[in-house]
């Protein structure tokens, strides 16, 4: 098992016997492909601020495909979020952007971020201090609906405010 | 044009099925006879099957077994070349396996039938109980001898599975011999190999936010590459292994930076209010390609690193979505995710052509990764809502890798390991 474990060199000997008739003679060692398994300890922040949970429970705004601009419906939702934030100045919010599964994962991560930034811009424009806002994206990695249809996609293109 | 439709199922009691679906092989495949190797019976049978599958998966071979042949020589002296000439066979492979408790060794020889002569004689010193690896090394030697191109049977594929939790897995290029690198309750995306294939970089959400980690495969030692409060993603190694290009969000928008892994210096590469992400390096490290939304839809751009203040040059124009590009090893072109109307396909564009060639035809193909010899592309597909890995060779053969538990995605091909 351990004989070749740390052998880094391998050897290929190629001998050309003559110019008109050549033959390859090779020798090589197989590398070890040992793998160490690691378990990631998740430090996902828990939502412990029950006050903010109560006020913002499931406050979510939705977006068009490949778009990060706010719709008039989103703005209605955000207006009440601004009011709540103004009433409770101790509350901080996290804006988590999401995308539907169409398109590449990294592009969708960036798209989710843009959506969360749009919401952040709106809040800041309406007087909320930027230090109270955390912006992040989960891209297409945390869908709410698993179907492969427009109604599922529409549910997944969102920013969650909590 | 000759089209071959061939569906072959190989089953094995301890593994899930490898489905070889050759929709279009090469017009003129090499006809190769492989005699089951002499020596330890069970191991020989095992190794024989693995070699056959490896060569068939390339789409470039028709393999002849003991049963298909007029004679089955045990050694060089037994060979009757005419028995193979009659069957129009191009090459013959014979060999043996010597296995004792401490060592496993294989010697094999390749004969050119038309010339009636031996063209290769090889010895491989294997690792006991790692018969699959030994078989992969033999496959690569045969492949290289016959095609003149380095084989990829002994390379590895990295991918992510989602079941109860998320796993980052490394497996042989045929999808077997799975080993878990990382288990996490939070998503893992964008795995990428270091050029020496000893480390991997990936994005993990375990801290509650996308962060890039680098992990040593053999020791499991891992670190966040940049410690700050904003999210970081899309790692790609420079060909010399000294730099990592990344997407950083500290400016409120996805921008590409280059991190010097030794002194941790950061150099900003892009500066645009649109999304810039999914960077990848050309094989000589002189160019970086990336996806940008600056034209209004995702398109591929490249930056020449040898010019100072070089402006990004757009490289894709057809289609409403072109993303996650990577360069072919010989720099002849690029492979990427392409959408002409509604379906996402894997496509290739050669630099000397002014059109895009789609390589796949389902609806949601993504994450293409090119084998180190440039002959095969592995990518993620959806079947009945399930994620699977599939492969397509540039000669037209397609195959699916065995379904692991849960959804499989984000494949990334290693460099050459031998």
Q: CB of A139 within 8 Å of any CB in chain B? A: yes
Bridge partners of residue B259, in order along the sequence: B244, B266
Whole-number average pLDDT of chain B = 91
Give the pLDDT confidence of A98-146 residue by residue, as tens digits. 999 999 999 999 999 999 999 999 999 999 999 999 999 999 999 999 9
Domains and CATH numbers, chain A: 50-161 (3.30.1330.60)
pLDDT at A19: 41
Question: Considering the entire predicted model, what is its pTM?
Answer: 0.89
Q: How confident is the model at residue B382 (pLDDT cuts 50, 70, 90)?
A: confident
What's the gap in Å between the CA of B47 and the closest CA on chain A? 15
Q: Which residues of B touch A4 (CB under 8 A)?
A: 125, 127
- How, if at all, do strands B199-204 and B211-216 pair? antiparallel
Mean pLDDT of A55-80: 87
* Nearest residue, CB atoms, B121 vs list A25, A31, A135: A25
- What is the Cα–Cα distance from A125 to A90, expressed in whole angstroms? 19
Cβ separation B275–A23 shorter than 8 A:
no
- Tell me if B142 sits within 8 A of B32, measured CB to CB: yes
Q: CB of A45 within 8 Å of any CB in chain B? A: yes
* Nearest residue, CB atoms, A110 vs list B125, B170, B277: B277
Top residue of A36, A43, A96 to mutate, by most chain B CBs within 10 Å, is A36
Top residue of A31, A35, A137 to mutate, by most chain B CBs within 10 Å, is A35
* Nearest residue, CB atoms, A138 vs list B179, B205, B247: B205
B123-154 as b/e: b if 16+ CB within 10 A: bbbbbbebbbbbbbbbbbbbbbbbeeebbbbb
- How, if at all, do strands B266-268 and B255-260 pair? antiparallel
Does position B87 have pLDDT exceeding 80, yes or no?
Answer: yes
Single out the residue of B155, B223, B179 nearest to residue A37, CA to CA: B179
Q: How confident is the model at residue B23 (pLDDT cuts 50, 70, 90)?
A: low
* Nearest residue, CB atoms, B122 vs list A26, A113, A114: A26
What's the gap in Å between the CA of B198 and the closest CA on chain A? 10
* Nearest residue, CB atoms, A30 vs list B137, B210, B323: B137
Q: CB of A16 within 8 Å of any CB in chain B? A: no
* Nearest residue, CB atoms, B181 vs list A38, A42, A117: A38
Q: How confident is the model at residue B233 (pLDDT cuts 50, 70, 90)?
A: very high
Q: Which residues of B touch A41 (CB under 8 A)?
A: 206
Cβ separation B179–A35 shorter than 8 A:
yes
Top residue of A28, A30, A131 to mutate, by most chain B CBs within 10 Å, is A30
Nearest C-alpha in A relative to B185: A42
Q: How confident is the model at residue B418 (pLDDT cuts 50, 70, 90)?
A: confident
pLDDT at B12: 29
- What is the Cα–Cα distance from A127 to A146, expressed in whole angstroms? 37
Does position B18 have pLDDT exceeding 70, yes or no?
Answer: no
**Which is the CATH superfamily of the domain at B6-147?**
TolB, N-terminal domain (3.40.50.10070)
CATH 2.130.10.10 at B156-413, yes or no: no
Q: Which residues of A touch B418 (CB under 8 A)?
A: 10, 28, 30-31
Q: Which residues of A touch B102 (CB under 8 A)?
A: 3
What's the gap in Å between the CA of B117 and the closest CA on chain A? 9
Q: Which residues of A touch B323 (CB under 8 A)?
A: 103-104, 107
* Nearest residue, CB atoms, B218 vs list A36, A42, A142: A36
Top residue of A7, A8, A21, A38 to mutate, by most chain B CBs within 10 Å, is A38
Q: How confident is the model at residue B260 (pLDDT cuts 50, 70, 90)?
A: very high
Cβ separation A26–B385 shorter than 8 A:
no
Q: Which residues of B touch A44 (CB under 8 A)?
A: 185-186, 205-208
DSSP state string for B77-99: GG--HHHHHTTT--EEEEEEEEE
Domain spans of chain B, in order of start: 6-147, 156-413
* Nearest residue, CB atoms, A42 vs list B103, B186, B217: B186
Establish whether domains B6-147 and B156-413 are of one fold. no
Does position B37 have pLDDT exceeding 60, yes or no?
Answer: yes
The distance from CA A145 to its chain's CA centroid, rounded to whole angstroms, is: 17
Does position B191 have pLDDT exceeding 80, yes or no?
Answer: yes
- B352 token code pair: 């000397």
Does position A149 have pLDDT exceeding 70, yes or no?
Answer: yes
How open is the CA angle B365-B189-A36, to the nearest 5 degrees? 120
Give the pLDDT confidence of B39-62 residue by residue, as tens digits. 988 899 999 999 999 999 888 999
């Amino acid at each position: 098992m351990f004989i070749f474990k740390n052998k880094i060199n391998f050897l290929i000997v190629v001998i050309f016997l003559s110019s008109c008739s050549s033959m390859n003679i090779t020798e090589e060692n197989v590398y070890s492909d040992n793998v160490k398994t690691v378990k990631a300890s998740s430090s996902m922040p828990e939502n412990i601020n029950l006050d903010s949970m109560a006020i913002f429970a499931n406050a979510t705004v939705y977006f068009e495909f490949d778009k990060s601009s706010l719709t008039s419906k989103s703005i209605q939702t955000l207006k009440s979020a601004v009011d709540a934030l103004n009433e409770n100045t101790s509350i901080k919010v996290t804006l988590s952007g999401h995308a539907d599964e169409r398109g590449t994962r990294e592009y969708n991560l960036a798209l989710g971020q843009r959506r969360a930034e749009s919401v952040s811009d709106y809040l800041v424009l309406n007087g909320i201090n930027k230090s109270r806002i955390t912006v992040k994206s989960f891209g297409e990695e945390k869908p709410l609906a698993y179907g492969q249809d427009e109604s599922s996609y529409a549910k997944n293109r969102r920013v969650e405010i909590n | 044009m000759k089209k071959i439709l061939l569906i072959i199922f190989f089953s094995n009691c301890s593994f899930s099925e490898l489905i070889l679906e050759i929709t279009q092989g090469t017009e003129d495949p090499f006809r190769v006879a492989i005699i089951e190797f002499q020596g330890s019976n069970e191991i020989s049978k095992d190794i024989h099957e693995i070699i056959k599958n490896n060569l068939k998966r390339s789409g470039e071979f028709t393999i002849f077994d003991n049963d298909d042949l007029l004679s089955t020589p045990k050694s060089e002296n037994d060979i009757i070349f005419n028995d193979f000439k009659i069957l129009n066979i191009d090459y013959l492979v014979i060999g043996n396996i010597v296995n004792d408790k401490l060592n496993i060794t294989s010697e094999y020889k390749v004969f050119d039938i038309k010339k009636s002569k031996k063209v290769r004689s090889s010895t491989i010193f294997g690792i006991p109980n790692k018969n699959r690896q030994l078989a992969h090394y033999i496959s690569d030697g045969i492949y290289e001898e016959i095609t003149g191109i380095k084989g990829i049977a002994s390379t590895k594929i990295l991918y992510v599975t989602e079941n109860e939790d998320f796993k980052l897995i490394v497996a042989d290029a045929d999808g077997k011999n799975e080993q878990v690198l990382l288990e996490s309750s939070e998503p893992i995306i964008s795995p990428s190999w270091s050029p020496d294939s000893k480390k991997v970089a990936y994005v993990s959400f375990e801290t509650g936010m996308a962060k890039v980690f680098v992990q040593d495969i053999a020791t499991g030692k891992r670190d966040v590459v940049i410690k700050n409060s904003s999210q970081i993603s899309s790692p790609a190694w420079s060909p010399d292994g000294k730099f990592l290009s990344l997407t950083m969000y500290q400016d409120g928008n996805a921008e590409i930076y280059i991190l010097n892994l030794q002194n941790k210096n950061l150099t900003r590469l892009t500066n645009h209010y649109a999304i810039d992400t999914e960077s990848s390096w050309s094989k000589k490290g002189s160019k970086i390609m990336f996806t940008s939304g600056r034209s209004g839809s995702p398109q591929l751009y490249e930056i020449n690193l040898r010019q100072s203040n070089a402006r990004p040059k757009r490289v894709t124009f057809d289609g409403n979505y072109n993303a996650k590009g990577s360069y072919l090893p010989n720099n002849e072109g690029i492979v990427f995710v392409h959408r002409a109307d509604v379906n996402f396909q894997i496509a290739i564009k050669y630099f000397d052509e002014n059109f895009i060639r789609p390589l796949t035809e389902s609806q949601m193909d993504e994450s293409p990764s090119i084998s180190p010899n440039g002959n095969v592309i592995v990518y993620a597909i959806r079947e009945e809502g399930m994620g699977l890995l599939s492969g397509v060779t540039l000669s037209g053969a397609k195959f699916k890798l065995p379904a692991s538990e849960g959804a499989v995605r984000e494949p990334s091909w290693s460099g050459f390991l031998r």
